[in-house]
Amino acid sequence: MTFQPIKRLRALALAATPLALALSLSACGEDGAGGQVVVPAPQPSSTATATPTPTASALTYNSTNCFTQAIQGQNGANLKSFIIPDTLKLDLTRSTRFPNGRHPADPVVDILLATLLLDMSVTGQGPNTLANVPLDPPGNDKFFLLTFPFLATPNGTPQVASGTGSGFNFRTDPDSAYVSVDRMGNPAIATALISSSKKVAYNDDTPAGDATNEKYFEEYEHELDKLFGLIGDDVESLGLKICATKTTT
C-alpha cells in the first residue's frame, strides 16, 4: 500500500476540525430616477499618502529537534536512533510495541508521523496522539491468527496456498544472494523523508551504508523541513504543538 503522509495529515485535520470558508462579497448600486445619472459633487483632493500593504513574511522550519527529542516510553531513545540505520529495531528488555518491534495491529504510520511531527515534551502529546484520532477503523473485521503467518485470512474466496505454514521452506541463501528492491525497515521513512531524485540510490543502499557518517541524515532533515512547510500549520490547527522550530524571514 502506498503511503502518502501529506494526504494522511490533512485527513486527520479534517476529521478533527470543520472546514472554514471566508467569502468576500461586493455590491454595486445604480440610480433609477427617470434614467438620469446623478453625478456627485467634486470632493476636495486629499494629500494623505496611502499606507502600503505589508509584505508577507516567509516562514521556515527547522526539524533538528524532532530527531533528537526523547520518544515517550522508549527509555530515552530518540527518533534518530530508531531510523539510523533504517531497520526495525527490537530490544527484548522493553515492551515490544512499535517502534520497538512491531505487532500486526500496531498503527505504525500514525505512530511514526507523531514522532516525526509532535513535541513529545508537551503533556498529552505522545507517539499515539494521531493514532487516537477517530479516523482509522477501530480494528480488523477478522482476528489475527495465533500461528504463522499470523495475519488474518483474506475476505471472500481468493485462491490461497494450502497448508498451515508449518511446512514453509525458508531459504538459507547468504545475504549476497539477495537484492534490495524497496526500503521497508521503518514505514514511511523511504517514502516521506527521501526525495524522488535519491530514492533509487537509497533503495539500493544497505543499512550499513545508513550508519556510515549518518549518510542520509541531512536528507531526512531537509525533507522533514519541507513537510512541515506543507502541513505544519494543519497540525497546529488541531491544537497540537509541533517539534520543529519556526523562523520568520
Taking a C-beta distance cutoff of 8 angstroms, is the pair 105, 92 a contact? no
The dihedral built from the CA positions of residue 195, 197, 200 and 205, taken in this order, carries a sign that is: negative
User: Radius of gyration of the chain from Cα atoms?
Assistant: 27
The pTM of this model reads: 0.69
| Residue (of 114, 147, 156) closest to 243 by Cα position | 114
Between residues 37 and 162, the one the model is more confident about = 162
Between residues 4 and 158, the one the model is more confident about = 158
Torsion of CA 143, 147, 151, 156, to 10 degrees: -70
pLDDT at 143 over 70: yes
Q: How far apart are CA 66 and CA 85, in angstroms?
A: 17
What is the SS3 assignment for 89? strand
Taking a C-beta distance cutoff of 8 angstroms, is the pair 109, 117 a contact? no
Residue 234's H or E segment, with its range, is: helix 217-237
Question: For the chain, how far is it from start to end, CA to CA, in angstroms?
Answer: 39
Here the cell at position 128 is 499515539
The identity of residue 29, as a single letter, is: G
Q: pLDDT of 97-126, one tens digit each? A: 888 888 888 888 899 999 999 999 999 999
Measured CA distances, 7 to 2, 106, 153 (Å)? 11, 20, 29
Q: pLDDT of 164-220, one tens digit each? A: 556 667 788 998 888 777 888 787 788 889 999 999 999 888 888 888 889 999 999
Q: pLDDT of 35-87, one tens digit each? A: 444 445 555 555 556 666 665 567 899 999 999 999 888 888 899 998 999 99
What is the SS3 assignment for 70? strand
The pLDDT value given to residue 27: 31
pLDDT at 21 over 70: no
